[in-house]
A = this chain, B = another copy of it.
Amino acid sequence: MTSVSEIVIGIDGGGTGCRVSIVDADGRVLGAARGGAANFTSDPVSTKRNITLAVHEAAAKAGLGSDDLMRASVHAGVAGVLSTSDAEAIAHALPFHSCTVTDDQVTTVAGALGGRTGVVISIGTGSFVAFATNEGTRFIGGWGLQLGDQASGAWLGRAALQRCALAQDGLVEPSDLTNRLMSRLGPKPRDVIAFARNASASDFAALAPDVLDAADAGDINGRHVVQDALAYLEVCLDRISLAKDDIICLTGGLGPRFAAWLRPRTQAEIVPPAGTALDGAIWLAREKYKEWKCNS
Could you tell me which A residues sit within 8 Å of B by CB distance? 82-83, 140-141, 143-144, 146-148, 158, 161-162, 164-166, 169-171, 189-190, 192-193, 196-197, 199, 235-236, 239
Q: How far is the CA of A133 from the CA of B144 in the complex (A)?
A: 42
Judging by beta carbons under 8 Å apart, are A147 and B171 in contact?
Answer: no
Judging by beta carbons under 8 Å apart, are B82 and A190 in contact?
Answer: yes
Judging by beta carbons under 8 Å apart, are A146 and B82 in contact?
Answer: no
Judging by beta carbons under 8 Å apart, are B193 and A169 in contact?
Answer: no
Contact A196:B147 (CB < 8 A) given known A171-B235, A190-B83, A235-B171 = yes
Contacts of A83 in B (CB 8 A): 190
Chain B nearest CB from A127 CB (Å) reads 12
Contact of A144 among B82, B170, B193 (CB under 8 A): B193
Contact A148:B165 (CB < 8 A) given known A189-B143, A193-B143 = yes
From A82, which residue of chain B is reached at the shortest CB distance? B190
Q: How far is the CA of A287 from the CA of B196 in the complex (A)?
A: 36
Q: How far is the CA of A7 from the CA of B164 in the complex (A)?
A: 44
Contact A158:B146 (CB < 8 A) given known A171-B239, A236-B171 = yes
Judging by beta carbons under 8 Å apart, are A146 and B239 in contact?
Answer: no
From A148, which residue of chain B is reached at the shortest CB distance? B165
Judging by beta carbons under 8 Å apart, are A146 and B190 in contact?
Answer: no
Contact of A147 among B82, B141, B165 (CB under 8 A): B165
Judging by beta carbons under 8 Å apart, are A141 and B169 in contact?
Answer: yes
Judging by beta carbons under 8 Å apart, are A144 and B239 in contact?
Answer: no
